[in-house]
A and B are shown apart, each in its own frame.
Chain A
Amino acid sequence: MSSSIRNRLLVIGLLIGGSIYFLFPRTVTLRVRGADGIMHDDTVTRVPLKRGLDLQGGMHLALELDQSKQVSADPKKDLDLALTVLRKRIDEFGVEEPVVQKAGDNRIVVELAGITDPARAKSIVQRSAFLEFRITDKTGALEKALPAMDRTLRGLGVKGDTGAGAGKPSAVEQLLGGDSAKPNAAKPGAPKAGAAPAGKSAKPAADSAAADTTPVPGGVLSGLIQAAGSAEGGGIPGEYAVPETAFPRVDSLLNIPQVARQLPRGLVLRWAAAPTSIGVQSFRYLYVLDDRPIVTGSNLEDANAQLDPLTNGSIVTFQLDRAGGRKFGEETGRHVGDFMAILLDGRVQGRPPVIQSRIGRNGQITLGNKSLQEAQDLALTLKAGALPIPLKIVEERQVGASLGSDSIRDGITAGIVGTAMVVLIMLVYYRMSGALAVAALALYLLFTLGGLSMINATLTLPGLAGIVLSVGIAVDANVLIFERIREELVHGKTVRLAVDEGFKHAMNAIVDSNVSTVLTALFLFQFGTGPVKGFAVTLIMGIIASMVTAIFVTRTFFMIWLQRRPAMSTLSI
C-alpha cells in the first residue's frame, strides 16, 4: 500500500475516531431540583448532541420591560439588572442547561428545556418579587378622605353603576395577573352587585357640598369601603374591608388620579393578596400604609420555604443582611405597638402583625393555604432579587415533551426510508462504485452528526428535516464525479486516467455549487429563529461533511480499489 493511501486512511480514521468521540454517550453532572425542592447533583449518561426545544419539549420566552405601569428611567440598566435576576432564578429553578440571554437591546430570551409545568415557569420568570415592609396608618386618613373622594367621583359623573374606570381591568389585577386575582374578579360585570345600592341613593345628596369630612350619604366609595374593625372585632388600624365582588371596581375608582389625590401625602393604598372570608361573605382587605418602606427585599440575604408546625400552612422565612437588619431593628424599635404590613409585589401578604418589640434580622411571611411548592418558588424569587420593572412576554413558544418525541420518531422514520431509497438508487445505478458512495454516505452522516456535536449545535426539527434532505443532496457530489468518470471512460480513457480526470473536473462544479448553498444558509442563520437556525447549522455542517466525503473519502476508496486491481480495464460504475 502506497504511503499516500496510508496517509489518507489515517486522516479518515482520525475523522471517524473524532466523530465517534464527540458522539459517544458521556456522563454529565447536572444540578437539578428534586421533588423535595432541594438542589442536588445528578448524573446522566447521554449522547452529547443537544436537542432543541421543539424536539425535547420546552419553552422559549421573549420578554420585554413592561412599562405600562411603571416607566423605567434607564431601560438599558434595568434590562441588564433583570437579566441578572432571571439568571439567578432560573439557575435555582433547576432546569438542564437553561438559556437566559439578551436578544437585541430591549429583549431577554429565556429557554427552558423539558419543563412540565409551563405556568409555574412563567410565574417565576414574570414575578417581580419586590418585598417591602410598611407601617399601617393610624390616623384614619382614608375615613377622612372618603367623602372628598366621593364628591370628586360625583363631579366626574361616576354614578353607582357603571363608572369611568370600571370597564378597564384594574391596575393591580393586571400587574399580578393570574397570581392571586380570582377569575371571577376579572369579569367587569361582577362589581355591579355591590355597587347597585349606592347608585340608587346617589341623587338626593347631589347638592350637599359641606365641609370636607362630612360623610356623603350614598357616596360610591363609602358605600363599599368599611373600616375592618366594624366588620370584625379588633380591627387593625389602616385596615379596610371591601366585598370581594366590588374589589376590581373600587380598585379602578381609587386609581383615578383626582380621587387618589384626596388621600394625604405620605400614604399609599395597597390591597391584600388574597380575599378573606368573614362569615358567608368574602372580603378583600384594603390597607392604608406609610409610603416609605422601612426595609425592602434588596436587603434580603436568604429565604427558605417551610411548613408552619402550628398551622401547617406554608411560610417563607427570611434573613436580612447586616445593614438591613440594623435598619429593621431601629425602625421596629420606634414602632412598637404599631402594625407592620409585609408586601410582595405591591400586595399585602397575610394580615399585618403587631410589632411587639424590636425585630432583628429574621422574619417570616405567612402564605396560609398555598402549597409548599408555591412557597418554594417565592423563596427562590426572593433570594434571586426583585425585578426592577415587571416583564411582559412578547413571544412564547412551548412544545410538550410528547410532541417532541413524536417529532424525533417521525424524523427518524423519514430518515430511514429516505436513506434506504437513496442507497437503493445508488446501488442499482452505479453498482460497485455506488457501494463506495453508500459507504461514503454512511461516513457523511457520521461526520455531520459528530461535527454538530463538536460545535455544540442544537438539533431542531427543521434541522432533522435538513439532515434527511441532505442525504438526498449529499450524493450529488458523488454523482457529479461518477458521471464525469463515465464520460471520460466513454471518451476512451483508461480507467485510472478517467478516475483522475473525473475527480479533477468535477471539483469546480462541486465547490461552486456548495459555496452558494453555504452563502444562503449563512443568511438563514443570521436572520432565523431557534429552529430555523438549527436548520442552517445542519445545512452548513452537512455541506462541509459532504465535500469531505465526496472529494477525499470516495477518492481514497477509488485509490485503494484501483491499487488492488491494477489491471482493471472496466470500472463497475
Chain B
Amino acid sequence: MLRLFANAQYDFISVRRWAYGITALFIIPGLIWLVVHGLNYSIEFTGGTLVQVQSKVPADVAALRAGLDRHGLHGAEIQGFGAPNEFVVRARVAKAGTDANDTQATADAVQQALTADLGAGNFTILRTEAVGPKVGGELRTKAFLAIFLSFFAVLAYLAYRFEWRFGLAAVIATAHDIVATIAFIGMLRLEVSLTVVAAVLSMVGYSLNDTIIIFDRVRENLRKHKKESFAQILNRSVNETLPRSVLTHGTTLSSLIALILFGGEVIRPFAWVMFFGVFTGTFSSIYIASPVLMEIEKRWPGELARGHLAPKPATQAAAGGERKTAPVG
C-alpha cells in the first residue's frame, strides 16, 4: 500500500521556538502593514455603490472617471474585473448632495455617467450592489458578531467535550489563524466582503477540525502511553495523524485550486482565503495548539496530563501548589 509519512517520527515540539519566529515574521509585518494601510473593505461594509459592467467598446478609464466626477461621484474607483472587456465601478461616497442612505441617486448617477461615456447600448450592467452606510454598518456589526460568537460557541463545545485546557489551546490557535489570515488579506489587498468573512469562518472551522483531530489523539495517547513525557505524547500524536493531515489537506487544496482557477472572479477571494487557511490551520494545529496545550498543562496540570509532566523532582514541588488549583475536568 501507498503510505505517506507512515511511522513518521519528526520532533515537532522541540523546534517550536523556530516556528514561533516564523509565524511572528509573517504576522508582525502583516499587522504593521494593516495599521498603515487598513483593510480594503468592500462596499457591503462601507456603504456605496458597485456596478459591474461589460462593455462593447474599450473604456477610457480617465474619461470615465472624469464623467463620474461630473455626475457628482467623486473619487470613484474603476477596475478591470476578470475578462478584458469587463470592469467594475466602485463609488464609496454617495452622489454629492444626496442622502447616502437612499442608494437610488448614486446608482442612477453611475448609470448616467456610463451612458454618457460609453454610449447607450454599448454596455451591459452585469451586477449592481448599492448599500447605504446604515445597512453597511449593520452588516459590519453582524460579521463581527458572527466571528466573535462562533469563537465562544466553539470554546464552550470544546470545554464540554474535552476539558477547558484543550479548548483554550484550540481557541488560541484559532485566534492565531484569524490574525494571520487578516494579515494575509491585508497584504494581498483582498477586498473584505461578506463572502470573505464566510471564508474566514470556514477556515476557522477547518483549522479547528485539524486541531481537534490531533487533540483527540493526544487524549487517547495520554491514556495509552503512560510513561512518555508530554512533549513525546504531542510529537507522537502529530506524527500519527500526519498521513491523514497530508491526505485531507491534499484533497481540500485540490478543490480550492479548482475554485481559484475555474470558479470565477466573484468567488476567487473566498478561495484564496481558504487556500491560505489550509496552511495556517495546519501550521497552527501543530505549532500553536500543541505547544500551547503543553504550556497550559505545565502551569495547571489536568488529571490526564499529570503523570506525563517530567521531570520527577519538580512534580513534588508542583504538587504542593497544585492542591489549591483543584483539578477541573
Contacts and interface: CB of A to CB of B under 8 A. Distances in A.
Given A417-B262, A516-B212, A392 B101 contact: yes
Interface stretch (A158-166, A247-255, A302-310, A401-409): A401-409
Contact of A411 (B104, B154, B250, B264): B264
B132 interface: yes
Contacts of A529: 44, 139, 194
A415 interface: yes
Most buried by A among B6, B145, B206: B206
Interface string A524-539: 1011110110011001
A59 to B, nearest CB: 8
Interface string B204-227: 111011101100110010000000
A120 to B, nearest CB: 14
Interface stretch (A13-21, A26-34, A367-375, A479-487): A479-487
Nearest to B136: A395
B244 A418 contact: no
B104 A403 contact: no
A47 interface: no
B125 interface: yes
A541 to B, nearest CB: 14
A462 B52 contact: no
Interface stretch (A76-84, A205-213, A423-431): A423-431
Given A394-B102, A400-B126, A471-B255, A516 B267 contact: no
A520 interface: yes
B212 A509 contact: yes
Interface in B190-246: 194-195, 197-198, 201-202, 204-206, 208-210, 212-213, 216-217, 220, 240-241, 243-244
A313 interface: no
Contacts of B197: 532
Nearest to B124: A400
A225 interface: no
Contacts of A177: 104
B20 interface: no
A517 interface: yes
Given A513-B213, A526-B146, A422 B255 contact: yes
Contacts of B271: 465
A501 interface: no
B259 A462 contact: no
A410 interface: yes
B115 to A, nearest CB: 10
A113 interface: no
B216 A508 contact: yes
B107 interface: yes
B149 interface: yes
B157 A519 contact: yes
A521 B145 CA distance: 13
B264 A410 contact: yes
A519 B259 CA distance: 25
Contacts of B259: 414, 418, 465, 468-469
A62 interface: yes
B280 to A, nearest CB: 16
Given A396-B129, A462-B195, A523-B146, A410 B244 contact: no
Contacts of A429: 2, 4, 247
B69 to A, nearest CB: 16
A471 B252 CA distance: 8
B130 A469 contact: no
A524 B251 contact: no
A461 interface: yes
Contact of B108 (A64, A178, A413, A490): A178
Interface in A449-498: 461-462, 464-466, 468-473, 475-476, 479-480, 483, 486-487, 490
B102 A392 contact: yes
Contacts of B154: 516, 519-520
Nearest to A487: B240
Contacts of B80: none
A230 interface: no
Nearest to B132: A394
Given A169-B97, A400-B125, A517-B209, A410 B263 contact: yes
Interface in A208-262: none
B263 A523 contact: no
Contacts of B146: 523-524, 526-528
Contacts of A410: 262-264, 267
A64 B107 CA distance: 17
Contacts of B274: 469
A395 B128 CA distance: 10
Contacts of A407: 264, 266-267
B150 A425 contact: no
A469 B243 contact: no
B206 A517 contact: yes
A138 interface: no
A535 B128 contact: no
B153 A523 contact: yes
A521 B205 contact: yes
Contacts of B108: 178
B255 A428 contact: no
Contacts of B158: 516
B161 A425 contact: no
Contacts of A3: none
Contacts of A532: 194-195, 197-198
Given A461-B267, A527-B145, A417 B261 contact: yes
B270 interface: yes
A341 interface: no
B99 interface: yes
Contacts of B7: 490
Interface string B26-52: 000000000000000000100000001
A515 interface: yes
B324 interface: no
B256 interface: yes
A362 interface: no
Contact of B201 (A118, A168, A465, A523): A523
Interface of A: 54, 62, 64, 66, 68, 118, 122, 126, 168-169, 177-178, 183, 392-400, 402-403, 406-407, 410-411, 413-415, 417-419, 421-422, 425-426, 428-429, 431, 461-462, 464-466, 468-473, 475-476, 479-480, 483, 486-487, 490, 505, 508-509, 512-517, 519-524, 526-529, 531-532, 535-536, 539, 572-573
7 contacts: A393-B102, A402-B126, A465-B259, A468-B258, A472-B248, A480-B244, A512-B216
Given A431-B1, A476-B248, 15 more contacts: A118-B128, A178-B108, A394-B101, A395-B135, A402-B126, A418-B255, A419-B255, A429-B247, A468-B263, A469-B255, A476-B209, A514-B209, A523-B145, A523-B149, A526-B146
